[in-house]
Amino acid sequence: MKDHLKIPVHQTILFCLAIIVACNNPFATRKPQGGGSFTGVAIKPANSAENVLYNLRASFENLSAQDYIYIFSEDFTFSPDPEDSLAFIEEFRTGWDYNRELLFGK
């Protein structure tokens, strides 16, 4: 082998040590992200009518179906005015609850 292609042993060892010290294990698992019930930015505590209306408005402005659905409780039920229920009788025949709103919001 030619002399100019030989790499001294100490340089090889230093290079390997630098790689081991500087690099993370590429096969190691990462730390999981924090959980949460939503990832949107529109949600305020539903402790006042103003906050609920803010959440509704912000979910529309941000086009966030996730925030929109988050503002409804599981026992949500919508009851339209009698005139409206007659105009849209097929939509309200089976009732409009959380699950129907969930489908609407998606």
| Strand stretches in the chain, DSSP E | 77-78, 96-97
> Which pTM does this prediction carry?
0.48
Sign of the four-CA dihedral 20, 21, 26, 30: positive
Three-state DSSP at 88 gives coil
CA separation for the pair 51, 48 (Å, rounded): 5
77-86 tens-digit pLDDT? 887 777 766 6
Q: Say whether pLDDT at 70 is over 80.
A: yes
Helix residue spans in 23-48 (DSSP H)? none
19-62 tens-digit pLDDT? 776 666 666 776 765 555 545 566 788 888 898 899 889 888 88
Q: Say whether pLDDT at 67 is over 70.
A: yes
